[in-house]
């Protein structure tokens, strides 16, 4: 892998990280329509359950599982959802408003294309689940006994599992500038503060993710089991390589120390194949030593995080 992996598009040096984030990223939101598979028992059913334990119904919380979520066809549907969420998070940075993340404007087309494919896959998976729906309801009827209620189940699962996404504006609405300049000014300050916080969230997310990856690989490389080197999967190295790629795509150059640390870590593992680490004990120990030093710095950054945030807010 070339050493320029961590290069990022040129930005104007006069702009702050939050300004760069604000001008080169866009808000992206994902929403799911998802059939619930659990339902709270009604008062009569809770009373019956309470009698079993000699308890009072009003102090008992109980529910029933409507469908077997371990069924392969159901797991196929939830698997697509997990991949959608993973893609969303992999291509974006956190934003301090629930349900919203920030994606590079240059990546919107790619994101749309990949989400559209996953949306189609979700539709196909739901169709497959619907083919087994009668079977799942029959199994639920047997397992739930008198708790089974046909009214809990829709006639079909088509349309019960859906995903939608949009790119909401997080900027102050322009009409406020004319209607109430003071409110508009306050909104501008609020949004600026949100992006300052988003920079901090991005830094924290990168540091925590890298710390976890480095810690895991270091432990695998340096640890022993019954006097023999611990076994580690290729993914322990591959996940770091994927992190470097994401960091290159999403980094806004807000923390020089973090940039240098990621760059150093990248050079430590660049070009090293997992099998080489298994076959060459000297290489294995050398990398473990290098990564251990990186981990120490990352640990310090995590401990130092609250103080750095306070300093930033006071500026």
Ranges in the chain, pLDDT < 70 = 1-14, 46, 48-61, 304-315
DSSP-assigned states of every residue in the chain: --GGGG------TTS-HHHHHHHHEEEEEEEEEE---EEE--HHHHHHHHHHHT--GGG---EEE-S-TTSHHHHHHHHHHHHHHHHHHHTEEE-SSTTEEEEEGGGHHHHHHHHHHHHHHHHHHHHHHHHTHHHHHHHHHHHHGGG--GGGS-S--TTSEEEEEE----SPPTHHHHH-HHHHHHHHHHHHHHHHHHHHHHHHHHHHHHHHHHHHHHHHHH-EETTEEPP--THHHHHHHHHHHHHHHH-----HHHHHHHHHHHHHHTT--HHHHHH-HHHHHHHHHHHHHHHHHHHHHHHHHHHHHHHHHH-
**Residue ranges of domains in the chain:** 25-166, 174-314
pLDDT at 194: 96
pLDDT at 64: 83
How do residues 46-86 score in pLDDT, each as one tens digit? 676 666 666 665 666 677 889 999 999 999 999 999 999 99
pLDDT at 303: 75
pLDDT at 6: 43
pTM for this model (two decimals): 0.83
């Amino acid at each position: 892998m070339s050493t320029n992996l961590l290069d990022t598009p040129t930005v104007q040096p006069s702009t702050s990280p939050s300004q760069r984030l604000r001008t080169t990223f866009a808000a992206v939101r994902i929403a799911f329509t998802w059939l619930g598979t659990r339902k709270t028992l009604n008062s009569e059913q809770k009373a019956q359950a309470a009698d079993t334990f000699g308890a009072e119904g009003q102090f008992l919380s109980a529910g029933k599982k409507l469908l077997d979520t371990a069924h392969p066809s159901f797991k196929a549907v939830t698997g697509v959802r997990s991949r959608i969420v993973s893609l969303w998070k992999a291509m974006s940075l956190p934003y301090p408003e629930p349900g919203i993340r920030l994606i590079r404007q240059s990546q919107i087309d790619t994101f749309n294309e990949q989400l559209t494919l996953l949306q189609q896959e979700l539709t196909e998976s739901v169709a497959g689940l619907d083919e087994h729906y009668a079977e799942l309801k029959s199994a639920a009827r047997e397992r739930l006994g008198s708790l089974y209620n046909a009214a809990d189940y829709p006639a079909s699962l088509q349309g019960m599992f859906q995903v939608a996404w949009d790119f909401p504006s997080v900027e102050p609405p322009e009409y406020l500038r004319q209607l109430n300049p003071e409110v508009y000014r306050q909104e501008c300050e609020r949004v600026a503060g949100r992006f300052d916080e988003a920079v901090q969230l991005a830094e924290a997310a990168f540091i925590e993710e890298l710390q976890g990856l480095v810690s895991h690989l270091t432990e695998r490389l340096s640890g022993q089991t019954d006097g023999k080197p611990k076994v580690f999967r290729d993914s322990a190295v591959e996940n770091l390589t994927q992190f470097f790629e994401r960091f290159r795509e999403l980094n806004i150059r807000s923390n020089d120390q973090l940039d240098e640390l990621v760059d150093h870590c990248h050079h430590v593992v660049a070009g090293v194949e997992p099998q080489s680490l298994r076959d060459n004990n000297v290489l294995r120990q050398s990398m473990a030593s290098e990564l251990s030093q990186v981990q120490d710095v990352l640990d310090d950054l995590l401990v130092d995080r609250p103080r750095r945030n306070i300093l930033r807010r006071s500026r």
